[in-house]
Amino acid sequence: MRLNELSDNPGANKNRTRLGRGPGSGKGKTAGRGVKGQKSRSGVAIKGFEGGQMPLHMRLPKRGFTPHNQARYVELTIGKLQAAIDAKKVDAKKALDEDSLVAAGVVRRKRDGIRLLAKGTLKAKVTLTLTGATKAAIAATEKAGGSVTIIAKKVAQTKD
């Protein structure tokens, strides 16, 4: 076998369809685009356009306000924390902070801080240092013999 004798298997390569090359090609004249109008031209992207009618996304009512500088906390439930302790991801005897929880893979990222929620049960005695926690979560942790320390939040400076 020589280099000039190499070829693809039959049917492995298919020629691209040449559009607009006469009626005999099967894709002549309008080239499969239908007829006339804006959509038959190239370079058109009409996402929410409804032919001059008010688009649906503009007809629907808008409610509420989302402040762009609002703190976004990562939620950590007591049940998820207990599951991580049971799976030996984290050592309950050591003091746990946000960075150690991220490093252990209990939460994916810190964002603006981690907030402990009281969903599930906690059996292990843990010492936590977090940005926030609900009253019920703190009570459940202390009931198990642990403690929760809340870090002071950074207040966003606003320009007047």
For the domain made up of 74-150, give the CATH fold: Ribosomal Protein L15; Chain: K; domain 2 (3.100.10)
Distance CA 41, CA 53 (A): 21
pLDDT by residue (tens digit) across 98-135? 999 999 999 999 989 999 999 999 999 999 999 999 99
Per-residue pLDDT at 47 = 84
Instruction: Record the pTM.
Output: 0.57
Q: For residue 17, name the pLDDT band (cuts at 50, 70, 90).
A: very high
What are the DSSP E strand ranges found in the chain? 74-77, 95-97, 114-117, 127-130, 132-133, 147-150
- Whether the per-residue pLDDT at 155 is higher than 70: the answer is no
Give pLDDT, residue 37: 84
In the chain, domain spans: 74-150
For the chain, the straight-line distance linking the first and the last C-alpha, in angstroms and rounded, comes to 80
Between CA 73 and CA 151 the distance in angstroms is 13
